[in-house]
Chains A and B, each alone.
Chain A
């Protein structure tokens, strides 16, 4: 589904990713771990097409096409979703209108008619309950005045509504208490199919107790320095990242 080869990325001339390689297949859950400032969020930004990131070398192939040639919205329409580390507040744009607009853009891309109001409401109701999101939040402006936990649950709620092929969850666990973490994990797990894939970016092993990865990668200094199964996460938790740096 996603093949990243020798990816080099700079921000304002400073190299952040230095030859990153990663292959994600349909049906897999990958976790990228690593200390702060190693390029984890940069990777998420480059995959989703945020401005200000210069790819100096390498390639990103998604579903057989050059992903880097597409705009942010085209990537989203082709099934890429980012759960933001810091979800943005958008005063004046209601969650309902935002989601309905997004869903209709996806449907238009697939050549479908806009979603019927009843169908939309039923879907929203179902996913809202899954993520235990209060009814009133859906009528409020996007993320405006949401608590930290509500914002993170709202990201997964949007993911549930848009049903992406490749979901990237950037530090979705940060700022969540254990109950909220379980809700978020339950949401992510319930969306898992053999046709989609998830890339979880996290600092701590804690989230991986609930979203169990097939592969764990350690990112350090802009490169993946070690990959393994889910047991690698436990090892990291026990020994810390310094253990790998010494290797």
Chain B
């Protein structure tokens, strides 16, 4: 029962508080204590909550999970897992392994342009003044037991600080890998601060290499100072019995530009909570998602866009392909506050069901208090077009390949919005593999690695010639 897990979490918290709070400044300790009290009060979300009506956590919370309060010493060949040579795409890889920052001997890196990246736990020690300014400032708005639990419990994660005016910056890849012969309950906390007029491209991957049931509850806060530009890519490839709750909070100051992708390739239960606050004039948020689900999988995308200031634009495009008994949820809430005149807010959710047992719940919700706004929303659920299928088959293309062509064409609308060519090609490969049913759980999102299998050759030729 979930209550069993809640009791276990309470006991462990009290017993291990000294370890969890180990490096924390007094202010953070207070925030964590308060968050824990909130968790006890709020509890895990249930289907009685409107925002969780179609995502039932009961089954996955009934499982028994193990908690670790310090990194387990393991023989891992990190070089083999992560060492990459990237010929045409310069990236900086930072990784969490079973929830802990990998490079323990070098927990923080300072790049020549002043950017700091590395372990969140270590940053708490080294840069408490930066952390205190932003920590839990954006996530606290969301009253949700899981977020509170993360605030109380999370010991490590990724910290990225980009100073003002840092341009032409390397892409950062944060790779979270689960690989333990154990049912893990992992809670990571990531904090990303992007200074004035700075640019950051961040690829955030959640991968599992094991066949155990894990539960990951991640909170990521992204603060964008004036004129900042962030491209954020989430890629999720988890085994069919792993759950991932990924809450991302973007706080956008004036004249900022955000592009966000949530690409769910595989996973037992995935919930992407994406909350965007447009808190300065002239800002833009482009929020995209693609989910490919089959068997008993479940993917839930919950997007909340808060137009708090005038003259901002948000544009959402979420597309999904569902097979077998899989289920998906899209919930898009756009709030246009009274003062947010000249707002443009658009939302589109499209789904293809390949089986009559698959279900999707789409709920667009516009809440508008300003009068000079342009808003639109639309949700569609359909099958592959029969006329198009017949047309393709009438040229001699098999039913299987005709389906693939149409599914890929459907997904490509999202993929084609990715502007970094090597990243687009990599994601393209992963999506094609997934559609062909050939994606393995060890297929990482890591880009163009030397030690990886060769770039996938699509049987029905999709190459651009």
Contact = CB atoms under 8 A, between A and B. Distances in A.
Co-complex (A, B): yes
Interface of A: 48, 50-51, 71-73, 76-77, 81-82, 84, 87-93, 96-98, 100-102, 104-106, 109, 114, 117, 120-121, 141-142, 158, 162
- Counting contact residues on chain B (CB < 8 A from A), the size range is 20 to 34
Contacts, number: 89
A88 B388 contact: yes
A92 B407 CA distance: 9
Interface string B376-406: 0000000001111011111111110110011
B393 A97 contact: no
A105 B397 contact: yes
Residue of A97, A98, A104, A158 with most chain B CB atoms under a 10 A cut-off: A97
Nearest to B405: A93
A158 B462 CA distance: 18
Nearest to B407: A92
A101 B461 contact: yes
Contacts of B460: 97, 101, 104
Given A84-B391, A84-B394, A90-B409, 16 more contacts: A51-B390, A73-B397, A88-B387, A88-B388, A88-B391, A89-B388, A90-B388, A90-B405, A92-B410, A96-B465, A102-B397, A104-B461, A105-B395, A106-B396, A117-B465, A158-B395
Contacts of A82: 394
Contact of B391 (A87, A96, A100): A87
B390 A50 contact: yes
Nearest to B387: A88
Return the 3 tightest CB-CB contacts between A and B, nearest first: A92-B409, A76-B396, A88-B391
Contacts of A92: 406, 408-410, 412-413
Contacts of A72: 390, 393-394
Interface in B349-397: 385-388, 390-397
Nearest to A105: B396
B393 A100 contact: no
Interface string B153-177: 0000000000000000000000000
Contacts of A84: 391, 394
B391 A73 contact: no
A64 to B, nearest CB: 20
A3 to B, nearest CB: 21
Contact of A73 (B398, B408, B412, B413): B398
Nearest to A93: B409
A71 B465 contact: no
Contact of A90 (B392, B393, B396, B398): B392
Contacts of A73: 393-394, 396-399, 402
A142 to B, nearest CB: 8
A91 B406 CA distance: 9
Nearest to A99: B395
A2 to B, nearest CB: 16
